[in-house]
Chains A and B, each alone.
Chain A
């Protein structure tokens, strides 16, 4: 009896403390209701983009705008959200199909095109947030510079530095005005330091987590 009383006391107080420590705590239904009105742009449907889009779809995001020009290849399957029978398919179409299998309520617009400085503002103008999910450093720079120039207030979340394996604690995020960076900001991909599912997945989900944080706290 005493144990039961103690148990109830701690249980109740722990729950009370948790909810008061998090003024923004919401039920999943409340989260989905708020996210349903939001649009997120995903620039690139590779390791970061495909996994980030899937995490946002599972969370109940209303609309995704996904742009990429590539097709699914066997070498993508070590980290990207595609299946063996999708090899050869246009990535954005394959990703739309996979997201539909997870959450058919997500509205998805795809652009099977290479993003550049000119088409970027048209593709992503209606987004509440843009996720930079490119592979090459030059492309990342083009995208971030264009985003900061075209949309000075819109949050942009970039993935920088996640090659290799191990050292999870080096992966972090930081904010510079409306630019958010996820990654260790040092690990560059190379023959000896390939991108692998765990660290790429951590960053993709870190980006998705920041999207939720920004959208739900706004």
Chain B
């Protein structure tokens, strides 16, 4: 399937996968992440049950200290 991840086209060898699986696949191991799927905020406790499908738009934002 093909998704848009952080504004880049990404082709993944699967029909669908969960947010958790995508984060593992992309090695996003940062402890504080904000995930948006098609514009909707996905909270951490929903990462394993939220499914990403073909054509979906995913944004993963790293929370970084400093200010």
Interface residues of A (CB under 8 A from B): 44, 46-49, 133-138, 140-141, 144-145, 148-149, 159-163, 174, 176-177, 179, 181, 183, 185-189, 195, 200, 203
Contacts and interface: CB of A to CB of B under 8 A. Distances in A.
Given A47-B67, A133-B67, A160 B41 contact: no
Contact of B65 (A137, A144, A181): A137
Nearest to A136: B65
A185 B39 contact: no
A71 B43 CA distance: 32
A181 B39 CA distance: 15
B66 A149 contact: no
B64 A138 contact: no
B36 A162 contact: no
Given A148-B41, A176-B61, A138 B66 contact: no
* Residue of A49, A186, A188 with highest tally of chain B CB at under 10 A: A188
B61 A189 contact: no
Interface of B: 7, 32, 34, 36, 39, 41, 43, 59, 61-67
Nearest to A204: B67
Contacts of B34: 141, 144-145
Given A149-B41, A160-B62, A176-B59, A134 B36 contact: no
Nearest to B38: A177
Contact of B61 (A133, A160, A187, A188): A160
Given A141-B32, A149-B41, A46 B62 contact: no
B6 to A, nearest CB: 9
Contacts of A183: 64
A144 B67 CA distance: 15
Contacts of B32: 137-138, 141
What are the 8 tightest A-B residue pairs by CB atom distance, in nearest-first order?
A: A137-B63, A189-B66, A48-B67, A137-B65, A135-B67, A161-B64, A141-B63, A163-B66
A205 B28 CA distance: 29
